[in-house]
Structures are given as structure tokens and as C-alpha cells.
Amino acid sequence: MFERALALDPDYAHAHAGLSFSHNRDMLLQFTDDREASGAWAVQSARRAVVLDNNDSFAHLMLAIAYMWPGKFDLAIAEAESAARLNPNSAFARAVLGTALDNAGRSAEGLAHIETSLRLNPRDPQNHIHLNILARTYLNTRNYEAAAEWSRKAIEHRSDYPHAHYLLASSLGHLGRLDEARAALSECERIQPGFVERRLTWQPYKDPADNEHIHDGVLKARAPG
């Protein structure tokens, strides 16, 4: 439908931003068989939207998300800051800015923006994602109790969200609560068979040590006990 809108008006910035949103969503939800192509379309469409309307907060927001997939975190932060400046009350912009800061290793800075996002829109149907990002950010600051608490809150919002169970397992693994961690991993596999094995290659952070840290908690839970 966005492509049909652009066929009618090729200079419609919001339709370009919407097309980028669609590709970003495909990557987030693993609905694409060609992540490289989807990522390229997400960046290209968002860039075009920004060129056509530099005052569109949503366009900058989509470009921020598109830049995060290939690990261009400095560019993502700059675009997310623009999105938040143009629309200070956008919970989505705050969440993306916090995520980009966390991915870049600036997790302590990211926490405030993600918490602000949740305050701005406490009833967002997508808050299980934002709560999970907050859990991951706490995990990266090595605050395992808070990470476990926010993972559980994400699960309360959506119990079939395997990403939250994975972070809960990692947090509990680092805390040495291995039976609980194993239960969280079992729930991951029940929800989405094969998820844990695939997730062990996940690399959201700029610093490889931070990526290893997430998975180390899970590996502790998987170790023979």
C-alpha cells in the first residue's frame, strides 16, 4: 500500500517513511528471507523521506532504526536525537534513542530515555518490546536483579514473547539461579522451537564483549548441572 501511495505521489515523504517502517518491521519480526535486501530498502526509503521532509520526526526515527541493523550506531543516535527533538512527546522516539545508546555501549544514558518512553505511553500495545529493551539495558549495566525484574514485566505484558524469556534466563544465569534460568530457556523453546540456538549468534552491541556477556548468562544455564 505504501508503494501504491508512492506511485501516486513519488515525493510523499511519509509514504517513504512508512515503507522503511515495513522493512524494519520485517527484520524485527523475522519475516524476511533476505535481511540484507530488507535492510538496504529500510535505509534507502528512510533517507528519501528525510530528504523530502527534514522536519518529519517519524522519518528520522525510521532512519535511526534502519541504521541500527548494520551497526551504524553513531548515525542511529544522531537520527533518533533529531526525531526526539522534533517530537519531544514521542514515546517511540525516546525508546529508539535509548536503544541506540544502549547498543553503542552508552547503556546508563539509554536507561533514562527508555524509562521516559514508558512514562509517556504506559498503555502502548508494543510495551513488551520496550520493557524487554529496558531489561537488556539493565543487563548490560550488570544490574542483574533489575534486568530479571523488567524481563518478567515484559513477560507479564506478553507471555509468548521469547526474547524476554531469553533475557530472563541470561539475568538469572548471571545471578547463579540456574534452575530458574533453565526454566526460562525451556519456555523459550516451547514458544518458538530453535529460538535459543539462533539467539546465541545475536550481536546487538557495538562491543563484542557486551554481546558475549548476554550469552554467557544463557550458557551458564545450559551447562550440565
Summarised one tens digit per residue, pLDDT across range 152-167 is 999 999 999 999 999 9
- Length of the chain equals 225
Range of the structural domain that residue 198 is part of:
125-225
**Mean pLDDT calculated for residue range 20-43:** 92
CA–CA separation, 59 vs 78, rounded Å? 13
Asked if the structure places residue 22 within a domain, the reply is: no
**Mean pLDDT calculated for residue range 62-77:** 96
* CB 168, CB 152: distance < 8 Å: yes
* Statement: residue 225 has pLDDT above 80: no
**Would you say the C-alpha torsion 119, 125, 130, 136 has a positive or negative sign?**
positive
Asked if the structure places residue 190 within a domain, the reply is: yes
| pLDDT recorded at residue 30 | 81
| pLDDT recorded at residue 223 | 86
Asked if the structure places residue 120 within a domain, the reply is: no
* Statement: residue 151 has pLDDT above 80: yes
**Mean pLDDT calculated for residue range 31-55:** 96
Pairwise pLDDT comparison (102 vs 27), residue with the higher score: 102
Per-residue confidence at 28, pLDDT binned at 50, 70, 90?
confident
Asked if the structure places residue 145 within a domain, the reply is: yes
**Mean pLDDT calculated for residue range 1-20:** 97
Asked if the structure places residue 66 within a domain, the reply is: no
| pLDDT recorded at residue 128 | 95
Asked if the structure places residue 87 within a domain, the reply is: no
What's the predicted TM-score (pTM) here?
0.91
Asked if the structure places residue 158 within a domain, the reply is: yes
Q: What CATH number has the domain bearing residue 135?
A: 1.25.40.10
Asked if the structure places residue 73 within a domain, the reply is: no
Alpha carbon dihedral 133, 129, 103, 186, in 10-degree steps, equals: 70
**Mean pLDDT calculated for residue range 106-113:** 96
User: CB-hemisphere CA count at 13 Å for 194?
Assistant: 1
Total number of domains in the chain: 1
